[in-house]
C-alpha cells in the first residue's frame, strides 16, 4: 500500500467516525424530544442555538479551522436536529400506519429534478423509505394523491425569482386534499454537458423555460447558442446524456448531471444567487400539530362586493394578533373582475386566536376554506435554512 492509499484509508475512517458521531448526536436529540413531549413548553431555543454557534466558532479558531465553514456545518446539524424533534412531536408514524400508500409521494418531473430533490429534503431521514413517483404534470401528482395511489403530493407554489405559480394555487382550490407541510429548496442551476464538452463549443442549451429565463445573463454570453425549451430541467439533462452530442448541453441541478452521466461545465449560473423555490405538500392524512411546532395556516376566501371588504377581513386577522406571511389574489372562474384571496398566516388552527378569527371571517365572507395548518419553513421561528 502506498502513502496515498494509506492516507485515504485514514480519511475514510475519520469520515465513518463523523457519521457515527452524528448518529449519537441525533440519539441524544431524540431523548430531548421525548423530554419536551413530557412537558417542556418550547421546541426551539434560539438563545441556546446562538450560544452553540458562537462556541463552535471559538473551537474552530482554536484548532485553526475556517470558523465560517464550521459554523455553517453546525447550522445544518441544528436543522437536522429540529426536523428530528418536529417529527417526534407530529406523531406522523402513528397516522401513516393506517394509510396503505403513505410511503409513496408524487412530484412533477423526472428523477433528478428540483422537485424530487425538494421531496427528498422534506422527508429527511425517512427519504430512503419513501418511494418518490415522478408525474408528467402538477395535476397528475394531485390526482394520484386524491386516488390514494400515493400518500403525498409535492407542488412548487412560489419562487423568489419567478414569483407565484398560479397553477398550484388553482389546484389547491379544486382538491379536497389539505396542505400538511412546506419545504424550501435552494435552486442552483448548472450548465451540464457530455464529458469533454466545452461551453464555447455548444450549439444548443436545453432546459425548462423558467430555468432558461433565470440564467439569461449567462446564456447571453454564449454567442450563437440556441435555447431549447423542455418539459423540465432533469428531462433536459437526460436527453443530452442520451443524444451523445457534445454540442448540446442542459441547465439543471448538479445531481441531475451525475445521474445522467454529464459533467458540470459551469456552476451557479443563475442571474440571482438567492434563487429559492417554496413547495407545499398535500395529503389526505390528518396530522395533529403540537403547539410547540412553529406553524402556518393557509386560507382561501372571497369577499363581499363592497368598499373596503378585503381591508375589513385583514383587520379581523390583525385584531386577533395573526401575522400574514402571504397574500395572493386569483380571478374567480367565469366571473370577470372578481377575485378570491389566498392568505398564509403564522400559527395553526389549533390556536384559539386562529379559530376565533376564522369563525368571524366565515360570517363575513361568501366563501372561505382552510387549506391546512402545517409546520412552517418560511417564518422566523420555523426557518432552518439560511435565506
Active site residues: 277, 279
Nearest to 312 by CA among 324, 303, 300: 303
Cβ atoms of residues 204 and 293 within 8 Å: no
Task: Tell me the three state secondary structure of residue 170.
Answer: helix
Residue 370 makes CB contacts below 8 A (sequence gap 6+) with: 297, 298, 299, 349, 358
Q: Cell 419567478 appears where?
A: 162
What is the C-alpha separation between 260 and 329, in angstroms, rounded? 40
Residue 247 and residue 203 in contact, taking contact as beta carbons nearer than 8 Å: yes
Angle at 61 between CA 60 and CA 64, to 5 degrees: 90
56's grid cell: 463552535
What does the alpha-carbon distance between residue 69 and residue 72 come to, in Å, rounded to a whole number?
Answer: 5
Q: What are the DSSP E strand ranges found in 38-144?
A: 104-108, 131-135
> Per-residue b/e over 66-91, b at no fewer than 16 CB within 10 Å?
ebeebeeebbebbebbbbbbbbbbbe
Amino acid at each position: 500500500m502506498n502513502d496515498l492509499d494509506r492516507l485515504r484509508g485514514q480519511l475514510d475512517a475519520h469520515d465513518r467516525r463523523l457519521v457515527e458521531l452524528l448518529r449519537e448526536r441525533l440519539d441524544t436529540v431524540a431523548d430531548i424530544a421525548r423530554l419536551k413531549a413530557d412537558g417542556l413548553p418550547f421546541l426551539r431555543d434560539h438563545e441556546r442555538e446562538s450560544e452553540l454557534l458562537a462556541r463552535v466558532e471559538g473551537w474552530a479558531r482554536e484548532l485553526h479551522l475556517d470558523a465560517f465553514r464550521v459554523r455553517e456545518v453546525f447550522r445544518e446539524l441544528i436543522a437536522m436536529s429540529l426536523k428530528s424533534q418536529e417529527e417526534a412531536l407530529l406523531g406522523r408514524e402513528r397516522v401513516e400506519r393506517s394509510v396503505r400508500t403513505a410511503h409513496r409521494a408524487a412530484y412533477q418531473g423526472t428523477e433528478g429534478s428540483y422537485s424530487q430533490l425538494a421531496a427528498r429534503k422534506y422527508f429527511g431521514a425517512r427519504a430512503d423509505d419513501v418511494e418518490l413517483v415522478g408525474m408528467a404534470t402538477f395535476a397528475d401528482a394531485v390526482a394520484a394523491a386524491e386516488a390514494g395511489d400515493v400518500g403525498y403530493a409535492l407542488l412548487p407554489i412560489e419562487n423568489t425569482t419567478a414569483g407565484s405559480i398560479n397553477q398550484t394555487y388553482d389546484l389547491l382550490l379544486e382538491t379536497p386534499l389539505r396542505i400538511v407541510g412546506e419545504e424550501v429548496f435552494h435552486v442552483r442551476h448548472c450548465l451540464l454537458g457530455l464529458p469533454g464538452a466545452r461551453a464555447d463549443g455548444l450549439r444548443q442549451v436545453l432546459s425548462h423555460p423558467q430555468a432558461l429565463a433565470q440564467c439569461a445573463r449567462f446564456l447571453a454570453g454564449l454567442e450563437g447558442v440556441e435555447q431549447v425549451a423542455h418539459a423540465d430541467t432533469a428531462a433536459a439533462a437526460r436527453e443530452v446524456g442520451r443524444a451523445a452530442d457534445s454540442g448540446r448541453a442542459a441547465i439543471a441541478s448538479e445531481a441531475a448531471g451525475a445521474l445522467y452521466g454529464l459533467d458540470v461545465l459551469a456552476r451557479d449560473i443563475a442571474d440571482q444567487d438567492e434563487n429559492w423555490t417554496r413547495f407545499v405538500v398535500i395529503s389526505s392524512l390528518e396530522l395533529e400539530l403540537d403547539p410547540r411546532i412553529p406553524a402556518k395556516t393557509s386560507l382561501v376566501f372571497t369577499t363581499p362586493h363592497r368598499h373596503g371588504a378585503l381591508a375589513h377581513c385583514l383587520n379581523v386577522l390583525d385584531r386577533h394578533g395573526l401575522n400574514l406571511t402571504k397574500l395572493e389574489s386569483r380571478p374567480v372562474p367565469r366571473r370577470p373582475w372578481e377575485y378570491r384571496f389566498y392568505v398564509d398566516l403564522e400559527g395553526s388552527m389549533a390556536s384559539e386566536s386562529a379559530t376565533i378569527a376564522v369563525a368571524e371571517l366565515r360570517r363575513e365572507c361568501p366563501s372561505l376554506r382552510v387549506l391546512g395548518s402545517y409546520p412552517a419553513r418560511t417564518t422566523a421561528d420555523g426557518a432552518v435554512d439560511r435565506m
